[in-house]
């Protein structure tokens, strides 16, 4: 276990003074695997806990021979499993494991209760029982629901999610806040916008590419195409996450703090569709719209307009490098390259 040098040197940047022992749940997933890459690069000892239900060994196989890396294939829903003991002598936990499919939560809500709420409770219990000092929880912009204020700040109220996924994430936030206050776990809650980039295996860009590969003449678009949301490229998301982790470890957070992690701009589904068509070199593609609600949403529970206020994060000195448009175009290139290399 790393020494708590902050008690001796309160102004020292701990993240370059000592190597931390860190558990990353969901570390074989899209965001998790990119985070593991960064944490390994920074010299930390990493333990990934993942049941590989949505993650992939391919995302982390390049770390398998690293003595500072360990994969524990286990299920967070089972508290009596071996994964709990990995939290012993652990300095920090990044809890990213979750079912990421918002649409699934509408038709199969129990999945999100088990994969998100139950799993998070078990992670918090493991933190409590093993005296873990730092927790970073991956939350979501969906906790805001149909926010009347755009861009939406962290202190927006009332929080009224419109999907079971959003409700589950908000429930997890409240659990994490309570554990922070009761048991002294210093906690960061990061409300991510739509994070995109290489290794992505769900979402609108991924779906469009696969639909157009099956039928290059016609593209089915869920909703009326006017849905507008903010997108953040994975390198920016990881940069923000590690930036805030450094902020946490330096002692800037006494119990818990919430941050939006997103972009300054947003983009419509129609614009995304045009970018994907262009990058695939297609022409004369017919767009077929399938709205699931009278106001043109892609499915019941879909937030139609999302733009996070990231001024709190930017005030600390961080800013995204790519716009939503640039992130979408680069992600399309990334995913097409991955498909060709398979």
The CATH code of the domain that includes 208 is 3.90.25.10
CA torsion sign for 203, 121, 163, 107 is positive
Q: What CA–CA distance (Å, rounded) separates 72 from 136?
A: 19
> What rounded mean pLDDT belongs to the chain?
93
Residues of the chain with pLDDT > 70, as a percent, come to 94
Give me the number of domains the chain comprises.
2
* 77 plus 168 within the same structural domain: yes
CA torsion sign for 177, 40, 339, 266 is positive
Of the pLDDT bands very low, low, confident and very high (cuts 50, 70, 90), residue 331 is very high
Of 170, 158, 72, the closest CA to residue 112 belongs to 170
How far is CA 304 from each of CA 121, 232, 290, rounded to the nearest angstrom?
30, 17, 14
* 237 plus 273 within the same structural domain: no
* 307 plus 252 within the same structural domain: no
Answer whether residue 8 shows pLDDT above 90. no
Answer whether residue 9 shows pLDDT above 50. no
* 311 plus 238 within the same structural domain: no
Answer whether residue 241 shows pLDDT above 70. yes
Asked, for residue 275, whether it belongs to a domain, the answer is yes
Residues of the chain with pLDDT > 90, as a percent, come to 88
Look at residues 261, 278, 303 and tell me which one is the last residue of a structural domain. Answer: 261
Answer whether residue 205 shows pLDDT above 50. yes
Asked, for residue 14, whether it belongs to a domain, the answer is no
Q: What size, in residues, is the chain?
A: 342
Q: What CA–CA distance (Å, rounded) separates 264 from 45?
A: 34
What CATH code is carried by the domain that includes residue 30? Answer: 3.40.50.720
Q: What CA–CA distance (Å, rounded) separates 237 from 110?
A: 29
pLDDT of residue 1: 40
* 48 plus 190 within the same structural domain: yes
Q: What CA–CA distance (Å, rounded) separates 96 from 116?
A: 10
- SS3 of 305, please? strand
pLDDT of residue 296: 97
Answer whether residue 13 shows pLDDT above 50. no
Number of Cβ within 10 Å of residue 338's Cβ equals 15
Asked, for residue 16, whether it belongs to a domain, the answer is no
The answer to whether 44 and 20 are in contact (CB under 8 A) is: yes
* 168 plus 274 within the same structural domain: no
Note down the domain range covering 317: 204-230+264-341
* 31 plus 176 within the same structural domain: yes
Tens of pLDDT, residues 173-197: 999 999 999 999 999 999 999 999 9
Looking at 134, 156, 165, 247, which residue is catalytic? 165
* 182 plus 222 within the same structural domain: no
* 166 plus 120 within the same structural domain: yes
CA torsion sign for 197, 248, 184, 130 is positive
Q: What does the angle CA 174 – CA 177 – CA 182 come to, to the nearest 5 degrees?
A: 125
* 114 plus 91 within the same structural domain: yes
- Higher-confidence position of 102 and 124: 124
Could you confirm whether 165 is annotated as catalytic?
A: yes
pLDDT of residue 6: 42
* 287 plus 213 within the same structural domain: yes
Phi/psi of residue 286, nearest 5 degrees: -85, 130
Asked, for residue 3, whether it belongs to a domain, the answer is no
Look at residues 217, 246, 261 and tell me which one is the last residue of a structural domain. Answer: 261
Asked, for residue 61, whether it belongs to a domain, the answer is yes
* 225 plus 236 within the same structural domain: no
Asked, for residue 6, whether it belongs to a domain, the answer is no
Asked, for residue 10, whether it belongs to a domain, the answer is no
The answer to whether 169 and 116 are in contact (CB under 8 A) is: yes
Tens of pLDDT, residues 92-123: 999 999 987 777 767 788 988 999 999 999 99
């Amino acid at each position: 276990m790393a020494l708590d040098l902050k008690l001796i040197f309160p102004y020292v940047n701990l993240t370059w003074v000592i190597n931390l022992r860190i558990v990353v749940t969901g570390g074989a997933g899209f965001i998790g695997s990119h985070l593991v890459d960064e944490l390994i690069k920074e010299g930390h000892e990493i333990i990934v806990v993942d049941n590989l239900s949505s993650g992939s060994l391919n995302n982390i196989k390049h770390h398998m021979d690293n003595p500072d890396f360990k994969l524990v294939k286990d299920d967070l829903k089972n508290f009596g499993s071996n994964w709990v003991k990995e939290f012993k002598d652990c300095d920090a936990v990044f809890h990213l494991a979750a079912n990421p499919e918002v649409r699934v939560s509408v038709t199969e809500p129990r999945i999100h209760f088990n994969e998100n709420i139950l799993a998070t409770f078990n992670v918090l219990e493991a933190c409590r029982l093993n005296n873990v000092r730092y927790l970073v929880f991956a939350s979501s912009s969906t906790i805001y629901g149909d926010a009347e204020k755009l861009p939406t700040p962290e202190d927006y109220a009332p929080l009224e999610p419109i999907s079971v996924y959003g409700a589950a994430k908000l429930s997890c936030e409240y659990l994490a806040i309570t554990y922070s206050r009761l048991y002294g776990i210093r906690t960061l809650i990061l409300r991510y916008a739509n994070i995109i980039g290489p290794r992505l295996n769900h979402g609108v860009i991924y779906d469009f590419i696969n639909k157009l590969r099956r039928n290059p003449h016609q593209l089915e678009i869920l909703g009326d195409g006017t849905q507008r949301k903010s997108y953040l490229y994975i390198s920016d998301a990881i940069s923000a996450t590690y930036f805030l982790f450094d902020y946490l470890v330096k002692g800037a957070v006494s119990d818990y703090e919430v941050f939006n992690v997103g972009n300054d701009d947003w983009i419509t589904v129609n614009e995304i569709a045009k970018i994907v068509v262009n990058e695939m070199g297609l022409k004369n593609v017919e767009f077929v719209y399938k709205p699931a609600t009278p106001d043109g949403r892609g499915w019941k529970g879909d937030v139609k307009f999302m733009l996070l206020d990231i001024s709190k994060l930017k005030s600390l000195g961080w800013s995204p490098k790519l716009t939503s448009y640039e992130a979408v175009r680069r992600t399309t290139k990334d995913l097409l390259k991955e498909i060709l290399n398979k």
